[in-house]
Structure 1
């Protein structure tokens, strides 16, 4: 059974229960109220009749006026009706229950010869403060008058007609409500099927502010995230294939030239092949490192490390490279403060190697690189500023993206693999730090790193 059918049955069943409960309640209330009305009417008429009979008894001195003429009772009843009509409100017309007039010895003076019912209402008739008779009225909890029974049946038919009409109305309302309530859910189901089929562009427009609308908003966010991840995956695969294609094409061309005898296996040729193999190996290693850092599989053996010592070790290994390219390398390390961080020294060496490699590749010959450290508020700040060339504003936002290189030719010899800064960002995040890029006062790029400082209070 579909959700719409279940929702329809639940709402309609609830409406049916409410309708029949109301019908039974109203029917019971009507019967009890009608019987109460009949009792009250009979008691009121019995009171008026007892008062009238009291006056007649005072005039006659005994009950002989009833023995001579029983029709006098009907005359008294007509007089009571006329008096009631002249008062406020509708008169209680006609007896709806049996009644009797008896003397003080309970001898029947007027009424049917049958036995008195078990439940009766008695109104005394007094003369000189003595009871000389009674007006007895049946007080049974049932309707006995033929007219009242007919009226009760008419009300019952009307009640069933109203209940039936209410059920039909509830049926129509339930049908409309179930369709309108299930429509946004149906849209979500259809959109989910499309999303599962790979259509990440599907969106659901929220039409209200309820929980289903919130679910639609969350669905749109999920679809947007999946669409973005799919685009990143496609770009990633395209970048990897592009990066691998260039060195492999060069290797294939060199090997085919050697095979055809166009080129001789000289030291220069072998060095060219080795250079391409080295670049290809570095790219594969960078990809491996990036995949490990992305999924958090890089191992970190953290210890208490002096950040100045790590920087000096990294600079020492790149000093000759910078001299070869005629780039001045300056360090301004804060040795007055304790710059101790809890980190993996090997990963920090890898971090600074990537940053130094990035700078030496991009900085023009004759330029410079300044590395400085200082103590911040509960942190250690490391700054790397190089000289021209710089980047424009859009490029600063993209430098940590995979395979991004500022130069448009994507030449590996000058631009590297484009994975170094992405690996750096993952290493910094693993150490609960921050890394950012901004223009340098020297005309190039400034990289600012902030790592949590260790103190004796930690």
Structure 2
């Protein structure tokens, strides 16, 4: 089977531009040819009319001298002599075209009888010029054949020469157009070729590929968008690899503990006691929590997490969540204080917002030192509801505050996995906040710990 001929975009662009140039050249050539031929015939016609007018005047003088047309009948020599005299000594006021007579003519008397002229039939549509004496009497006519086409060999040769010259000009112009079209197509397709090569490399997994932005037009914008896409893919690939490494790391620890505990029980090193079962159960709880958080985060990232929004009161949700944590906070030696307005109307999903508040309360409970304090405040600021969750020591370094919402990210020091977190809670909180057109930020708390600020748009009832 024969391979199909590849006809790329460069060849298509070259063909389109060159075909357009050829069409314009050929159209102009035929237009110029038609204009030249009609103009040349008109030029000959005007020249013949001028000569016939001069011949009419000369014949009128001869008629006045002889008194009739007998002197001219069957006397072609006299006609030719008159023609030569007109060519050699034309009237100074009449500028005759060069190259002499180009048409047949007949001389008629008063009775429209042919006095002199060719033997063939006189044309009906020929132009006629009166032979008028000095007294104003019309004594005859000179009738010329219309020059509908070129008849003289010199005129025909001149026309053919012009035609050959015009075709040579068309051929040279076509070669010039082909050269210019090639350069133009090559220049226009250079950025496209860079984009094609970059796309091939990107499809092969080389996300570090970038293309040169050489213009400010649509192709330049496309190159910038390509670089942005490549940068996003490179970043996502790095995040994917880090995510897989983090997941394997998070799963490895509880699985290793479970395996060690089970092997110890199997080998008889450790007995199956309630404490051993409780230890195994705690690791299973950690794994279950990690899997649940991963499931929630994947649903949120994919946009598949269902949100059933309705009119809710943020104050009521905060009070319910804080009430559920009150006993646990007391058992850890922490004081929980609320500074809330009477009502905070909002349009959102109460279950997802409760999940967000619970994660923030759990985060403060897990990382705040015993004897510390956790403060929750809410107030109206312009068109937004501002909610803050601030706790006491330990705090988070400013360099880490911008990254604590990344999945599996933990700070060094007290706020790490030793406290039991998976590193996904704040990432889930941020997705829930963004789903409600809100923002979640971290900063230093005046109590010495971390302050999480939730900003939500105010939607009145």
Query: What's the secondary structure of 1:384's corresponding residue?
Result: strand
* CA positional deviation for 1:353: 1.4
Paired residue for 1:191, among 198, 213, 217? 198
Deviation string for 1:371-419 (max 9, x for gaps)?
1122344443222122233333332211211111122688423261111
Q: What is the CA–CA distance in structure 1 between the aligned matches of 2:157 and 2:306, rounded to whole Å?
A: 94
Aligned to 1:419: 424
Q: How many residue pairs align between the two structures?
A: 454
TM-score, length basis structure 1: 0.90
Structure 1: stretches of 5+ with no match in the other structure: none
Deviation string for 1:69-107 (max 9, x for gaps)?
654444443443355585696744400111222222233
Aligned to 1:107: 113
CA contact (8 A) 2:384 2:457 kept: yes
Deviation string for 1:101-155 (max 9, x for gaps)?
2222233333323221233111101122221111221114111112111212222
Aligned to 1:147: 154
CA gap 1:94/1:32 in 2 versus in 1, 3 angstroms: same
Aligned to 1:49: 55
Aligned to 2:400: 395
CA contact (8 A) 2:367 2:414 kept: no
* CA positional deviation for 1:33: 0.9
Deviation string for 1:255-302 (max 9, x for gaps)?
333333444444444333332222222111111121122223333344
Query: What's the secondary structure of 1:153's corresponding residue?
Result: helix
Aligned to 2:17: 11
1:434 aligns to 2:420 (yes or no): no
Query: What's the secondary structure of 1:201's corresponding residue?
Result: coil
Q: What is the CA–CA distance in structure 1 between the aligned matches of 2:234 and 2:89, rounded to whole Å?
A: 90
Superposition pairs for residues 98-247 of structure 1, below 5 Å?
98-127=104-133, 128-247=135-254
Q: What is the CA–CA distance in structure 1 between the aligned matches of 2:143 and 2:311, rounded to whole Å?
A: 109
Aligned to 1:356: 361
Query: What's the secondary structure of 1:330's corresponding residue?
Result: strand
* CA positional deviation for 1:423: 0.9
Q: What is the CA–CA distance in structure 1 between the aligned matches of 2:446 and 2:413, rounded to whole Å?
A: 24
* CA positional deviation for 1:422: 0.9
Aligned to 2:101: 95
Q: What is the CA–CA distance in structure 1 between the aligned matches of 2:25 and 2:65, rounded to whole Å?
A: 59
Deviation string for 1:227-281 (max 9, x for gaps)?
2222221111111111111111222223333333444444444333332222222
Aligned to 1:271: 278
Answer with 272-281 or 140-149: which moved more: 272-281
Paired residue for 2:326, among 319, 329, 332? 319
What's the RMSD between the two structures over aligned residues? 2.7
Superposition pairs for residues 281-296 of structure 1, below 5 Å?
281-296=288-303
CA contact (8 A) 1:362 1:415 kept: no
Query: What's the secondary structure of 2:213's corresponding residue?
Result: coil
Superposition pairs for residues 35-46 of structure 1, below 5 Å?
35-46=41-52
TM-score, length basis structure 2: 0.89
Q: What is the CA–CA distance in structure 1 between the aligned matches of 2:263 and 2:416, rounded to whole Å?
A: 23
Q: What is the CA–CA distance in structure 1 between the aligned matches of 2:260 and 2:448, rounded to whole Å?
A: 40
CA contact (8 A) 1:305 1:345 kept: yes
Q: What is the CA–CA distance in structure 1 between the aligned matches of 2:35 and 2:140, rounded to whole Å?
A: 36
Q: What is the CA–CA distance in structure 2 between the aligned matches of 1:89 and 1:388, rounded to whole Å?
A: 114
Deviation string for 1:15-56 (max 9, x for gaps)?
332222222222211111111111011011111221232233
CA contact (8 A) 1:405 1:415 kept: no
